[in-house]
Structure 1
Amino acid sequence: MTLVHIWQPDEEPELGTILENVWHLLGVGLRNRKHGFHLPVVATSTPDEGPDVRKVVLRGVDRAHRLLRFHSDARSSKIRQIEQNPRVAFAFYDAAEETQVRIQAQAKVHRSDDAANAAWQGTRLFSRRCYLAEGAPGSPNELPTSGLPNVFSDRNPTEEESRAGRANFAIVLSEIRRLDWLYLCHQGHRSARFTWDEAGKLTSTWVQP
């Protein structure tokens, strides 16, 4: 199901249908690396550094708990920023779907608990290689460098070699608090907002694009 297929100019979809479609697109983005929702932009901020944005890979979608998951080097600035201020924002866009989704969420960093351990076990050796970098992301260098030890410049680590990267691995679970949906349509754009309170109660409304 995609919104492009269900949208009828003379028959507006219901808000519940819109939200169902958003969860569908998030699931597609999770599974399909070519889909626009696979690489959302995530914004963080701190009092000293102000706003900061970057793309991440969508690694998990838990609809029951309204959680989005991505992985990160535990030494990165975004992990420090989230630990200082857990309020984050996501921006998803897929040109083929003509759909943008903006999400406000409450994030939490997991380093060594069951959730992080399970994510590490599900990570391929190719991905684990990233966490074997000798310095933290953003560390200054005199020359261009991947930060990886030379032995891993042209190969993946073995399972045993990859274990050294576990200490640098973290996941971020973000609980969705507000979701803004925008559909670009030549008959006139459409927009809706979905908000969950502290108890998980949903409020849905159309908004002007």
Structure 2
Amino acid sequence: MVANSLSKHADDDPNDLTTVLDEAWCHLQRGVADSRSPAHYPTFATVAADGTPEARTVALRGASRSLSTLEVHTDIATAKVAALKHSSKAAFLVWLPRANLQIRVIAIVDIQTGSAVDEQWDRIPAASRVSYGTEPTPGTVISDVYAYEKPSKRERFAVLMCNMLSIDLVQLGERHRRASFRRENDWMGEWLAP
């Protein structure tokens, strides 16, 4: 089981940075494949044009270690997209309670639309496509709780391709451990004081 393997390996060699990073990637990839995994619904944080921090839960749709990317789908009319157009940096936060592991990721986000995202759109079930096209647009004041429609609008579908810059891992235990990995260092890790 992934949740327990990090602890087992930590007992074998608590200084093995490679194992720590490997386990974090296992959790992220499991989050894509398993909607019951806590990593499936990370917190995604951006900063609005006025400097206001904004955090929301998103669904993790892709995690590629070889490309150092995480993938999220969204409606192009959301506040998160407006914030990313102002500042392309974003953060992910994943808390894995069974592993006592926190994963934080900083990324530069590329907003992809149109024909560039045909493959992702084709994989979305018809019933889920209503997430892209809410009218009025998400965040608009409405007259009552159900004064909106959810048509499926292909032109509103966007993929947020998050190019990872860093991964910060904190594992809670009898002795906490914290490690940092940076793309600029070819993901070579270093231990940090927790």
For 2:186, the equivalent position in structure 1 comes to 201
Structure 1 pair 131–67 and aligned structure 2 pair: CA distance change class (3 A): same
Structure 2 unaligned segments of length 5 or more: list them. Answer: none
Shift of 1:83: 1.3
For 1:22, the equivalent position in structure 2 comes to 24
Q: Number of residue pairs matched?
A: 191
TM-score normalized with structure 1 length? 0.86
Counterpart of 1:206 in structure 2: which amino acid? W
Give, in whole Å, the separation in 2 of the partners of 1:59 and 1:14.
29
Structure 1 pair 92–146 and aligned structure 2 pair: CA distance change class (3 A): farther
For 2:9, the equivalent position in structure 1 comes to 6
Aligned pairs for 1:1-209 within 5 A: 1=2, 2-8=5-11, 11-114=13-116, 116-145=117-146, 147-148=148-149, 162=152, 165-185=153-173, 187-197=174-184, 201-209=186-194
Give, in whole Å, the separation in 1 of the partners of 2:108 and 2:45.
12
Give, in whole Å, the separation in 2 of the partners of 1:124 and 1:194.
35
Give, in whole Å, the separation in 1 of the partners of 2:61 and 2:120.
9
Q: Secondary structure at the match of 1:140?
A: coil
TM-score normalized with structure 2 length? 0.92
Q: Deviations over 1:91-132 (max 9, x none)?
A: 011111111000111001111132x11110110112102224
Give, in whole Å, the separation in 2 of the partners of 1:141 and 1:123.
28
> Do the aligned residues in 2 keep the contact of 1:83 with 1:108 (CA within 8 Å)?
no
Q: Secondary structure at the match of 2:111?
A: strand
Shift of 1:56: 0.1
Counterpart of 2:9 in structure 1: which amino acid? I
Counterpart of 1:6 in structure 2: which amino acid? H
> Do the aligned residues in 2 keep the contact of 1:133 with 1:146 (CA within 8 Å)?
no
Q: Secondary structure at the match of 2:20?
A: helix
Give, in whole Å, the separation in 2 of the partners of 1:146 and 1:14.
54
> Do the aligned residues in 2 keep the contact of 1:69 with 1:173 (CA within 8 Å)?
yes
CA RMSD of aligned residues (A): 1.7
Shift of 1:5: 3.4
Counterpart of 1:192 in structure 2: which amino acid? A
Structure 1 pair 148–15 and aligned structure 2 pair: CA distance change class (3 A): same
Q: Deviations over 1:122-147 (max 9, x none)?
A: 10112102224221100110100272
Bigger Rg, which one: 1
